């Protein structure tokens, strides 16, 4: 049985004070909630504060990005050991905004994924097609290439430590969610790709989140699909009530 996982990707939002207020509200409701794995991914500047606040709760901490090297002259970057020091257990990698605005390729995502795993961080590896690619009938090709490229060279054990997030680019921040059938179809495709790369048991065990305009109103239907194991939530994760409602929809 795959345990559902709902993660909030706060993106470039929340000062430290705002982050503390949001997490304190989440804690009041979710501190002892075990049915679903709950992760919050604040910006780097708020990690330390949020880390202290979620200590001894069932809310887990993630970051939104990291560099693949262990340390060195990479001005402005953050490495895995810095995240581990703050008790991060997850890191989002290859988000479409990183791919689109910061030139991240599958090869870069792959290096980061391996570096995260080597540091015992669980990578949340994002894949997803653009609207143009969907309209050109290229969903299967694009997703297959991204999954194979991002996870290349991982062992079965490592992929089992990872989470995949399917986030159609056209659904991110647009209010246009993929229908539950559209999302399910791609999640099943990702499991097929994983079966080819590893085996059917591994493919059935890896958790695959859906992301893209998940709201309290559509979460339950999405999360009830057989291959959808929770969500990666953007805008709705910035509002405590919305995020809590989405988490509870995953039960």
Q: Which residues are part of the catalytic machinery?
A: 95, 167
**What angle do helix axes 240-249 and 216-223 make, rounded to 10 degrees?**
20
173 lies in the binding site for ligand 13P (CB under 6 A): yes
58 versus 215: smaller Cβ distance to ligand 13P: 215
Q: Which residues ranging from 29 to 68 are in contact with ligand 13P (CB under 6 A)?
A: none
155 versus 174: smaller Cβ distance to ligand 13P: 174
**Nearest distance from residue 212's CB to ligand 13P, in Å?**
5
Taking a C-beta distance cutoff of 8 angstroms, is the pair 212, 172 a contact? yes
List the Cα angle 40/29/93 in 5-degree steps: 10
Nearest CA to 207 out of 145, 139, 122 is that of: 122
**Nearest distance from residue 10's CB to ligand 13P, in Å?**
9
Which whole-number Å values give the CA distances from 171 to 98, 152, 214, in the listed order? 16, 26, 9
Secondary structure class of 237 (helix, strand, coil): helix
93 lies in the binding site for ligand 13P (CB under 6 A): no
The pattern of x and - marking residues 184 through 203 that bind ligand 13P according to CB under 6 A reads --------------------
Which of 4, 6, 9, 19 binds ligand 13P (CB under 6 A)? It is: 9
Nearest CA to 113 out of 123, 105, 127, 128 is that of: 123
Site for ligand 13P, rule CB under 6 A: 9, 95, 167, 172-173, 211-214, 232-236
């Amino acid at each position: 049985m795959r345990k559902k996982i709902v993660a909030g990707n706060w993106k470039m939002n929340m000062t430290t004070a705002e982050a503390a207020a949001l997490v304190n509200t989440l804690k009041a409701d979710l501190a002892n909630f075990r049915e679903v794995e709950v992760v919050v991914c604040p910006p780097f500047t708020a990690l330390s504060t949020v880390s202290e606040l979620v200590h001894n709760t069932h809310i887990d901490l993630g970051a939104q990005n990291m560099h693949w090297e262990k340390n060195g002259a990479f001005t402005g970057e953050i490495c895995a050991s810095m995240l581990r020091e703050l008790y991060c257990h997850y890191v989002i990698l290859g988000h479409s905004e990183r791919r689109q605005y910061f030139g991240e390729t599958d090869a870069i995502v792959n290096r980061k994924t391996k570096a995260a795993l080597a540091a015992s961080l669980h990578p949340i590896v994002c894949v997803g097609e653009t609207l143009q690619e969907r309209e050109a009938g290229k969903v299967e090709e694009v997703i297959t290439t991204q999954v194979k490229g991002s996870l290349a060279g991982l062992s079965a054990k490592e992929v089992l430590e990872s989470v995949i997030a399917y986030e159609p680019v056209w659904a991110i921040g647009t209010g246009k969610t993929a229908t539950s059938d559209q999302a399910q179809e791609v999640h099943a495709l990702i499991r097929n790709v994983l079966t080819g790369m590893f085996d059917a048991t591994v493919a059935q065990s890896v958790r695959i989140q859906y992301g893209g305009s998940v709201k309290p109103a559509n979460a339950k239907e999405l999360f009830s699909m057989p291959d959808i194991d929770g969500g990666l939530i953007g805008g709705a994760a910035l509002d405590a009530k919305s995020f809590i409602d989405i988490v509870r929809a995953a039960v």
